[in-house]
Amino acid sequence: MSVAHILILVLWILTIGFGVYYVKDIFKHKEDFKEVKYVPTIIIGVLANFFDTLGIGSYATSTTAFKFTKSCPDDLIPGTLNVAYAIPVVVEATVFIQKVTVDPLTLVLMIGASILGAIIGASIVSKWNLKKVRIALGCALIALAIVMICKLLGVGPFGIIGTASGLTGAKLIIGVIVNFVLGALMIVGLGLYAPCMALCLLLGLSADIAFPIMMGSCAFLMPSAGIKFVKEGKYNRASSLVLTITGVIGVLIACFVITSLPLTVLTWVVTVVMVVCACIFFKDASKA
């Protein structure tokens, strides 16, 4: 059995454990489903995970959509993102880890580092008050908008064309340390995809290698961190199950139905909206 298949097996064992814990908590609080805004929640789940599979990311788009549709309280957004999208991202990772051949040591160490960062990050963020969460989400959106603009313009690491399929020596150590930090920041609401892709390109990896690393990192860290948010009750139970189901649908459409899509204009639009949403978070935080 290859390392990729072992990773996928371990991933699904972890995910099934998380899923049982998650669904039991949902059904303990069935009364929360009276509060679901079904139409915006279904649209957000499908579209955010569809574009996530294509590399745009789901965190920033979902955070912005939650804010404008008022379908998730601000203080529950970090937990909701990590809990609701854990299973859709596992489906993504299952596809991409098998599709692209990556150096096994690089893949395992970078994924392991992100899990550790996420667990530590979740234990901190789950105790934050509303004002802290709003400030953190605003900062995360601004930071991600800057990274997305660099990606669109091919500035910095995004202008580098790498060819390597794995890392060794100092580059591997840097990759592991930075992915640990990205795992912790993802819990706050800073999506891991774009920063992780920038890291991979900067270290000389080819662009296609970034996909199994960033998706594998998210797939392993989200169930691990998600359990913490479920335990603390710091996520939107009313919407999460709907987001999970529709999220899986969005991923499958992107993987097997839509093979290509012009994303540049859409990414510019998303980036601008992210900045506007960040300003709203900062404004609301100042009132809190």
pLDDT digits (tens, 9 = 90+) for 55-86: 777 877 888 888 888 888 888 888 898 899 99
Residues 104-132 pLDDT 10s: 899 889 999 988 888 887 777 767 777 87
In the numeric block, the tokens 């479920």 are attached to 230
| The residue count for the chain | 288
| CA 45/CA 8 separation, integer angstroms | 23
| CA 53/CA 222 separation, integer angstroms | 16
Q: What is the pLDDT of residue 13?
A: 93
Confidence of residue 149 (pLDDT cuts 50, 70, 90): confident
E strands present in the chain: none
Taking 80 as the threshold, does the pLDDT of residue 142 lie above it? yes
Task: Please state, in angstroms and as integers, the Cα–Cα distance from residue 223 to each residue in 45, 171, 250, following that order.
Answer: 17, 28, 19
**Average pLDDT over all residues of the chain:** 83
Answer positive or negative: Cα dihedral of 52, 56, 61, 63. positive
Average pLDDT score over residue span 37-56: 87
Q: Taking each helix axis as running N to C, give the angle between helix 169-188 and helix 207-232, from 0 to 180 degrees, rounded to the nearest 10.
A: 40
Backbone angles phi, psi at 206, to 5 degrees: -75, 155
Q: What is the pLDDT of residue 83?
A: 92
User: In Å, how far from its chain's centre is CA 249?
Assistant: 16
Residues 159-209 pLDDT 10s: 666 778 888 899 999 989 989 988 887 777 666 777 887 888 888 888 778
Backbone angles phi, psi at 168, to 5 degrees: -140, 165
Q: What percent of the chain has pLDDT over 90?
A: 19
| CA 125/CA 134 separation, integer angstroms | 12
| CA 277/CA 20 separation, integer angstroms | 34
Which has more pLDDT, 1 or 252?
252
Average pLDDT score over residue span 242-250: 94
Confidence of residue 32 (pLDDT cuts 50, 70, 90): confident
Q: What is the pLDDT of residue 172?
A: 93
Average pLDDT score over residue span 140-162: 75
- pTM confidence score: 0.77
By C-alpha distance, which of 18, 19, 201, 186 is closest to 111? 186
205 bridge partner residues: 164
Average pLDDT score over residue span 10-27: 92
Q: What is the pLDDT of residue 244?
A: 95
Confidence of residue 98 (pLDDT cuts 50, 70, 90): confident
Report how many helices (DSSP H) and strands (DSSP E) the chain contains, helices first.
12, 0
Q: DSSP letter at 164?
A: B
Q: What is the pLDDT of residue 259?
A: 54
Query: How much helix, strand and coil, in percent to the nearest 5, is found in the chain?
Result: 80, 0, 20
**25 CB-near residues (< 8 Å, 6+ apart):** 230, 233, 237
Q: What is the pLDDT of residue 159?
A: 67
Q: What is the pLDDT of residue 7?
A: 86
